[in-house]
Amino acid sequence: MELTVNSVARTVQSPPLSSLLTVLREELDITSPKAGCESGGCGACTVLVDGQPRRSCLTAVCAVDGAEVTTVEGLGTPEDLSRVQQAFIHHYAAQCGFCTDGLIVAATAYVGGGGSADTGDIGEALAGHYCRCTGYVKILEAVAAVARGDTFDTASTASSANNTYVTIAGAES
Ligand code: FES
Ligand code: FES
C-alpha cells in the first residue's frame, strides 16, 4: 500500500487490516497521533485523511490506500508553527498534551473549511475529543482566535476572559 504522509510518499508493509494509527506510530515512526481509547471515543488519534479528520485507530490502512495523510508533524515546524499551533501556545490550550495533537488536527480542518469563531460551532466541530486537563475553555478560545484571524505573539500569553469550565459536545464525562 502507498500513502503520502506529510507530503512524503511512503510504502506501507504492515498487514492490510492494521489500523492507520498502528502504521503511523509503529511502522512509520510518526508519533503525534496518540493511542488513547483505541475504540473511536477520545479523538487522540485523529489525523487528516485527504483533508478530513479521521480516527486513525478505527481506520484500516487498506481503506486509505493512496490517500494523503497529515499529522501534526506535517502542519508546522518548531521554527514555523502553524497558526493553530501558535494559538494553542498563546492561549494555554495544552497542558499534558495527550489530547492536543488530535485537537490541533481537527481544529486545522475546521478553520481551513471556513469555520466561524462561534464557540458553539467550534464545540460541535471538536465533538468527541476528550481533554482531561484544560476544561476546554482555552481550547475554544484558541480555535476562535484563529477563526477570527488573530495574530499571535507566542512570547506572551493571553489571559482567559472566562475561567468557567465548559464541555465540548460529546465529551462530557
Ligand atoms: S484512540 Fe482513537 S478515538 Fe481514542
Ligand atoms: S491537555 Fe491533557 S488531556 Fe488534554
Q: Tell me, what's the pLDDT at 44?
A: 98
Using alpha carbons, list the distances in angstroms from residue 91 to 8, 52, 137. Answer: 31, 25, 10
pLDDT digit string (tens) for 60-97?
A: 999 999 999 999 999 999 899 999 999 999 999 999 99
In whole angstroms, give the CA distance from residue 170 to residue 173. 9
Q: How far is the CA of 107 from the centre of ligand 1 (A)?
A: 16
In the chain, how long is the greatest CA-to-CA distance?
Answer: 49
Looking at this protein, which amino acid is placed at residue 25? Answer: R
Looking at this protein, which amino acid is placed at residue 156? Answer: S
**Model confidence band, residue 154 (pLDDT cutoffs 50, 70, 90):** confident
Which residue of 23, 32, 55, 71 sits with most ligand 1 atoms within 8 Å of its CB, as the best mutation to test the pocket? 55
Which residue of 20, 24, 38, 105 sits with most ligand 1 atoms within 8 Å of its CB, as the best mutation to test the pocket? 38
Residue 127 parent element (H or E): none
Q: Tell me, what's the pLDDT at 173?
A: 45
Q: How far is the CA of 71 from the centre of ligand 2 (A)?
A: 18
- Count other Cβ atoms within 10 Å, centred on residue 117: 17
Q: How far is the CA of 103 from the centre of ligand 2 (A)?
A: 10
Nearest CA-CA partner of 68 in 29, 20, 27: 20
**Model confidence band, residue 155 (pLDDT cutoffs 50, 70, 90):** confident
Q: How far is the CA of 96 from the centre of ligand 1 (A)?
A: 17
Q: Tell me, what's the pLDDT at 40?
A: 97
**What are 55's three cell numbers?**
480516527
State the closest ligand 2 atom to the C-alpha of 133, by its place in the atom list counted from 1: 2
Q: How far is the CA of 44 from the centre of ligand 1 (A)?
A: 5
Is the pTM of the predicted complex or chain greater than 0.95? no
- Please check the confidence at residue 27 and state whether its pLDDT lies above 60: yes
* Residue 171 or 117, more confident: 117
**Residues whose beta carbon lies within 6 Å of some atom of ligand 1:** 35-38, 40-45, 55, 57
Using alpha carbons, list the distances in angstroms from residue 37 to 23, 79, 93. Answer: 17, 32, 21
- What are the chain's domains? 2-74 (3.10.20.30), 77-173 (1.10.150.120)
Which residue of 19, 42, 103, 105 sits with most ligand 1 atoms within 8 Å of its CB, as the best mutation to test the pocket? 42
- Please check the confidence at residue 160 and state whether its pLDDT lies above 70: no
